[in-house]
Amino acid sequence: MGNPASVKRKATEKRRKKYEARLGPGVYLPKAEREKVNAAVAEREAADKVRKAAYKVEKAAAATKAKEAKAQEKKV
């Protein structure tokens, strides 16, 4: 049969996960805590965006350098 309190907790957890999957992280929290979570998520997304842009530039520079090296190799 199981512990009724545990069953209720599991149902609540499932519902919370469904809400978060549909509406985003922190949606099931009180407003003050939700704002903190949303700020942290926004900060993380901004950091990821900067990191990805830097990676793109680095990768493009490496590709250009490889092309130049290959062109130099063909000339020699």
Mean of pLDDT values over 22-38: 86
Collapse the DSSP code of 24 into the 3-class scheme (helix H, G, I; strand E, B; otherwise coil) and give the result. Answer: coil
Phi, psi of 46 (to 5 degrees): -65, -40
> Can you give the pTM of this predicted structure?
0.56
Q: Residue 55 is part of which domain span?
A: 4-75
Query: Residue 22 in contact with residue 10, Cβ under 8 Å?
Result: no
Over residues 8-17, the pLDDT tens digits come to 889 988 988 8
Reply yes or no on whether the pLDDT at 48 is more than 90: yes
Q: How far apart are CA 1 and CA 43, in angstroms?
A: 45
Residues belonging to the chain: 76
Tell me how many domains the chain contains: 1
Q: What local confidence, expressed as pLDDT, does residue 50 receive?
A: 97
Q: Taking all residues of the chain, what is their mean pLDDT, rounded to a whole number?
A: 89
Mean pLDDT calculated for residue range 41-61: 96
